[in-house]
A = this chain, B = another copy of it.
Amino acid sequence: MSDEIHQKFMREAINLSIDNVKSGKGGPFGAVIVKDGQIIARGTNLVTSSNDPTAHAEVVAIRNACKELGTFQLDNCDIYTSCEPCPMCLGAIYWSRPARLFFANTKKDAAEIQFDDNFIYEEIEIPYQNRSLLTQQILRDEALEAFRLWRTSNIKMEY
C-alpha cells in the first residue's frame, strides 16, 4: 500500500479520537482495523462511559473486528491507532496477531496529558517484587495441575 493509503486510514483513527473527546464518551483515542483495503472495525476509548477499564480504542476495535470476522485472530489485518498502544493494548494486539501496526501520538505524548501508559511500561519492565502494585506469588504447585491437564487434554483448542 502507498503512504497515502496508510494516511487515509490513520486519519480515520484520528477523526475517531477527536470525535470521542467532543462527545465526552472517553479519552482522546481512536483505532481502525483494515483488511483487504477496507475498514472492518472501529474503536474509541469507552472506559468511563462503559465502566470498563479495558475498553481502550485498540481493544474495542479488536473485539469488534473479531466479531465481524467470527475468529479470534486478525490474520492479514492492519491496525491503525491514533496513539502508541499502552502495554494492555500492545499485548492485545500481539494476541490477535495482525500483520502490521501503525500509530501516531507517542506514549510520552499520552503521559503529558496525564495518562498512565508510560508509567505502566516502566512497571512492567521491573521485577514484580519491586513494583508499586503489591504483588505476591502463592500456591504455584497446586496451580500447575491445570497446566498438566492442558498438556494431555484432547479437546483443547490451541492458539
* Chain B residues near A33 (CB-CB < 8 A): none
Q: How far is the CA of A6 from the CA of B139 in the complex (A)?
A: 10
- Distance between A138 CB and nearest chain B CB, rounded to angstroms: 6
- Distance between A28 CB and nearest chain B CB, rounded to angstroms: 4
What size tier do the contact residues of chain A reach?
A: 35 or more
> Contact flags (1/0) for A42-61 with B, using CB distance below 8 Å?
00000110011110000100
* Chain B residues near A93 (CB-CB < 8 A): 133
Q: Which of A1-34 contact B (CB under 8 A)?
A: 3, 6-7, 10-11, 13-14, 17-18, 20-22, 24, 26-30
Known: A24-B156, A51-B66, A95-B54. A137 touches B106 (CB 8 A): yes
